[in-house]
Chains A and B, each alone.
Chain A
Amino acid sequence: MKGGLLRGRGLQIYTWLVIAWLVLPIAVMILFGFNDTHGRYNTAWQGFTFKWYGKLFEIGDLTQALVNSLLIAVLTMLIAGVLGSLIGLALGRYRFRGSGAMNLVMFAAISCAEIVMGASLLSLFVTLAVPLGFWTILISHVMFSISFVAVTVRARVMTLDSSLEEAARDLGAGPWTTFRLVTLPMIFPGVLAGSMLAFALSIDDFVITNFNSGGTMTFPLWIWGATRVGLPPQVNVMGTLIFAAGVLIAVANALLARRRANA
């Protein structure tokens, strides 16, 4: 039994080492947002400073790229959130001809290599001579997010009891009222989770955006373009703030869920 205990402890240490490996580049990113550099390069540690937090928006096109990213992510969250939820509801609740084909298309969209998706969408835009920019980026982000939202919502719908909706109908509620007062509140956690996933996928996407952006910059594209000349500390600070916001939302979400479970 002692050997088993030791092995358990060894695996625990191992797990923490893997977590440390996963977190290491994030720690480096956060640390060098506090680096007191003076030249163009943020490579050697020069001392601690908060100044980059004050000069966060001094690089105009970087700020614009971040604004574009946030705007596209919010719009993707809303559009893909609605379209994907409707698909998830249909697949989770109804039995109908063609649902197999729909599942197949969604599986293909989720497992398709990003570069193939990005390249084929660019093929369409090039063939139709559609000018690339903000709107083509938005189109592509909604396209790759829909299936993820649909799968998330479908999973939620499948766990629900449809007898509540039947009860609402028996009590004389019309289809729209039933949807608004019974179905939507029940599936809402799934809709919210799916929409947040769409937001996260959109703000992080590089490959598909790179193919369909034309001259429009997003945050990951700007970083990519600046790699050769060296990243300014503002990028580290923006990355840190996005990271912090993500951690806060996740922790708040977990605390709310726990409170609800205890109540």
Chain B
Amino acid sequence: MSRLRAALTPYLLLFPGTLWLAIFFVVPTVVMLSLSLQSGDVVNGYAFTFNWHSYVDGISTYHDQIVRSLVYGLVSTVIQIVIGFPVAYWIAFKGGTRKSIYLFLLLLPFLVSFVLRTISWQFFLSDNGLLLGPLKSLGLVPQDFHILATSAAVIGGLAYNFLPFMILPMYVALERIDPRVLEAAQDLYASKAQTFLRVVLPLSLPGVFAGVLMTFVPATSDYVNASVLGGTSNTMIGNVIQNQFLVNQDYPTASALSFTLMALLLVGIFAYAKALGTEDVLEVAAR
């Protein structure tokens, strides 16, 4: 009796939360797949017709936005690695007793709403705002110079908003490196550059991988930065999905585009994992 109860315990613990995830996460994904294959409109209702056209039409109509999202997501992720790695490296190896203070400072942006932070950038960068206003009145930049409504503004916003998610996992990986390994490299007459390239860098890769996983997906699928900082000519696939779902209420097209985005992100992640030779993707990610 008690053995049976012991065997059942984990399932009883799992039950309520799993039920919630099943009904509101797993089932909706299936419902959306079904919705993407339906035809009809919001007035007359929808019927399941295996209508592949939503995919064909959606992808061909919004090809530009799909490509732009992938490019922006990729570029902003690379920028985050380049900007973030030296920071993670310095805190991990030279942060001393103040490591947690530096990490706390890096996490400060998360205490302000994501939308509010992005709008604050819009405010700071606006055409006659805090940055460009003084520069223009001093004649340092031309009067028609602008930062907003450019792809640089959107990519910069994406890099800004997700940077802490990139730095933290890289820091965790670098911090774990045993100092004795570095001493061993030096004892074996490795130069500083060799130690960095052949010891530190490979050992930091799991952190970089986790960081990419945490930043590439939200950056690629984001629409807040594109709306607030990008004007009308830098719309991403997220803007289209949002618009089709909430404004046009064209559910089949919107669902088909969501599914396309999900598929692209999944393929991207697994191709990346394979290229990097990281076998235990899930294990690294789950940490």
Listed in ascending order, the chain A residues whose CB lies under 8 Å from chain B are 4, 8, 11-12, 14-15, 18-19, 21-26, 28-29, 32, 43, 82-84, 86-87, 89-90, 93-94, 96, 98-99, 102-117, 119-124, 126-127, 139-140, 142-143, 146-147, 150-151, 175, 200, 203-204, 206-207, 210-211, 219-220, 223-224, 227, 231, 235, 239, 242-243, 246-247, 250, 254
Given known A22-B160, A103-B286, A220-B116, contact A115–B24 (CB-CB < 8 A) = no
Listed in ascending order, the chain B residues whose CB lies under 8 Å from chain A are 5, 7, 9-11, 13-14, 16-18, 20-21, 24-29, 31-32, 35, 83-84, 86-87, 89-91, 94, 100, 102, 104-106, 108-117, 119-124, 126, 129-130, 160, 163-164, 192, 213-214, 217-218, 220-224, 228, 238, 241-242, 245-246, 251, 254-255, 258-259, 261-262, 265, 269, 282, 285-286
Give the residues in chain B near A90, CB-CB below 8 Å: 9-11, 13-14
Given known A8-B94, A94-B9, A231-B119, contact A115–B87 (CB-CB < 8 A) = no
Given known A211-B245, A223-B115, contact A146–B124 (CB-CB < 8 A) = no
- Docked Cα-Cα span, A119 to B260, in Å, equals 13
- Docked Cα-Cα span, A178 to B246, in Å, equals 50
The 3 closest A-B pairs by CB, nearest first: A246-B111, A25-B120, A83-B17
Q: Which of A123, A206, A223 contacts B251 (CB 8 A)?
A: A123
- Docked Cα-Cα span, A98 to B12, in Å, equals 13
Give the residues in chain B near A103, CB-CB below 8 Å: 282, 286
What's the nearest-Cβ distance from chain B to residue A35, in Å? Answer: 11
A105 touches B224 (CB 8 A): no
Given known A11-B86, A107-B282, A109-B25, contact A146–B20 (CB-CB < 8 A) = yes
B32 touches A223 (CB 8 A): no
B13 touches A89 (CB 8 A): yes
What's the nearest-Cβ distance from chain A to residue B107, in Å? Answer: 8
30 of the cross-chain contacts (CB-CB < 8 Å) are A8-B94, A21-B160, A22-B109, A26-B112, A29-B112, A32-B123, A90-B10, A90-B11, A93-B10, A94-B9, A106-B21, A111-B214, A113-B220, A119-B258, A120-B258, A123-B251, A127-B35, A140-B24, A142-B24, A143-B25, A203-B113, A206-B113, A220-B113, A223-B116, A227-B119, A239-B113, A239-B116, A243-B112, A247-B108, A250-B104
- A26-B108, A90-B11 given; name 9 further pairs at CB < 8 Å: A28-B123, A29-B116, A119-B241, A119-B245, A123-B35, A211-B242, A220-B113, A223-B113, A227-B119
Give the residues in chain B near A242, CB-CB below 8 Å: 111-113
A111 touches B285 (CB 8 A): yes
Give the residues in chain A near B238, CB-CB below 8 Å: 115
Give the residues in chain A near B269, CB-CB below 8 Å: 111
- Docked Cα-Cα span, A150 to B129, in Å, equals 44
What's the nearest-Cβ distance from chain A to residue B135, in Å? Answer: 16
- Docked Cα-Cα span, A87 to B102, in Å, equals 32
Give the residues in chain B near A254, CB-CB below 8 Å: 100, 104
Give the residues in chain A near B111, CB-CB below 8 Å: 26, 242-243, 246-247, 250
What's the nearest-Cβ distance from chain A to residue B228, in Å? Answer: 7
Residue of B nearest to A243 (CB): B111
B102 touches A114 (CB 8 A): no
- Docked Cα-Cα span, A175 to B90, in Å, equals 48
B94 touches A22 (CB 8 A): no
Q: Which of B105, B123, B213, B245 contacts A23 (CB 8 A)?
A: B105
